[in-house]
Amino acid sequence: MKKLLVLFALIALVLGSFTGCSSTPEETGPKTVKVGIAIYKFDDTFMTNYRTEMEAYLTGMNSDEVTYEVSITDGKNDQATQTEQIDNFIAQAYDVLIVNLVDLTAASTIIEKVKAADIPTVFINRQPSADDMKLWDKITYVGAKAEDSGTYQGEIAVDLWNAGGVDKNGDGVMQYVMLMGQEIHQDAALRTEYSIKKVEAEGIKVEKLFEERGNWDRVLGQEKTAAAIAQFGDKIEVVFGNNDDMALGAIEALKAAGMVVPVIGVDATAPALDAIAAGDLSGTVLNDSVGQAHTSVDKALALLAGETLEKEYWVPYVKVTPENYKDFQ
Ligand code: GAL
Ligand code: CA
């Protein structure tokens, strides 16, 4: 009986090598790694650049050994929708997730879910609290220090002031308008704070004329600026936008009112760089979507490989002015 089994095994082996159905890696094909990416909403210029780059970077790494299957979801700025999308990734046994939360207060719920399913996760762009990050070791955060972007905006304003291009009414005070991003986002509060802090640190007095939320949105940025113009008109000496889309909206409103006022943004999106070239935007700050996309993906794959990571990783901002904008186009 034993001899018969050995014989069968031998025959199977020989047949196998003839028909080619042995299991060397070449013949079973590359292994598939399923990467789920949840974006807070697709209708956002900076996050669109970011997600496009993550996908390109991942698929660019496809090889004979591995195929990255990437699925990206649009949270439509609604946490309930995004949570459902993450539940789906978990139900479909995704290997690793990259999450741009809609609402930071949902972080602990999401972390408990991915932890229960043992799916390593990288948070991006919106930073969960330090306490939330302690809930599991297979999570990390990739972002950029919002304080620095604010400080660079302040530096741009100071340079314009020192060049004599700001104090229209000659009262020695910088009268400004601030267009803020979404309340839930650390970038909005920090850019608002640090831009003005920098101006004041250089000994320039400031007067806040108007400060409202445009929620990162170009149309809202235009509407809020139009409202500021209706109220303060020529008193406005500079407009700070927490991002480029709102800054570009502000430029539209100023043009419609026949006003020329320095406007400063953040992100260095393609339309913003064009606006610098056209002389409409005074400056911006590179929010490095390519650098952040690569770091997030690298960290996701490191977590998947079982590496122990830090709780946060930072990609630097770069100040962009009419002198150097071409380097970023
Ligand atoms: C910011 C960026 C904004 C917007 C926001 C989305 O970092 O400057 O333009 O994309 O993230 O959360
Ligand atoms: Ca003034």
Residue 29's pLDDT is 87
Structure-token match 């393609």, residue found: 270
Question: From the CB of 47, is ligand 1 less than 6 Å away?
Answer: yes
Tens digits of residue pLDDT in 243-253: 999 999 999 99
User: How confident is the model at residue 308, as a pLDDT?
Assistant: 97
49 CB within 6 A, ligand 1: no
Give the tens place of pLDDT for each residue, 9-61: 444 444 444 343 344 445 678 999 999 999 999 999 999 999 999 999 999 99
Evaluate whether 309 touches 141 at the Cβ level (below 8 Å): no
Distance CA 260, CA 300 (A): 45
C-alpha distances out from residue 115 to 7, 51, 125, 138, 156, Å: 49, 24, 20, 8, 44
**Cβ of residue 269 lying under 6 Å from some atom of ligand 1:** no
Spacing, Cα 156 to ligand 2 middle (Å): 17
Would you give the DSSP letter of residue 66? E
Indicate which residue's Cα is closest to atom 12 of ligand 1.
125
Residue found under tokens 């400080």: 151
Cα angle 232-235-236, degrees, rounded to a multiple of 5? 85
pLDDT digits (tens, 9 = 90+) for 136-162: 999 999 999 999 999 999 999 999 999
Asked if residue 73 has its Cβ within 6 Å of ligand 1, the reply is no
- 70 has which bridge partners? 35
Ligand 1 centroid to Cα of residue 47, in Å, is 7
Q: What is the pLDDT of residue 165?
A: 87
**Residue 27 confidence (pLDDT):** 61
Q: What are the E-state strand segments in 215-314? A: 238-241, 263-264, 284-286, 312-314
Determine the angle formed by the axes of helices 270-277 and 244-256, rounding to 10 degrees: 40
What structural domains does the chain harbor? 31-144+288-315 (3.40.50.2300), 146-286 (3.40.50.2300)
Question: Which positions of the chain have pLDDT values less than 70?
Answer: 1-27
Angle at the Cα of 164 (from 160 to 167), degrees rounded to 5?
90
Q: Residue 256: what pLDDT?
A: 98
Q: Which of 246, 196, 191 is nearest to 224 (CA)?
A: 246
Phi, psi angle pair for 212, to nearest 5°: -140, 165
Nearest Cα neighbor of 313 from 328, 326, 303 is 303
* Per-residue pLDDT, 26: 54
Residue 14 is predicted with a pLDDT of: 42
Three-state DSSP state, 78:
coil
Q: Which two tokens stand for residue 102?
A: 């809609």
b/e for 269-285, b at 16 or more Cβ within 10 A?
beebbebbeeebbbbbb
Task: Quote the ligand 2 centre to 179 CA distance (angstroms).
Answer: 19
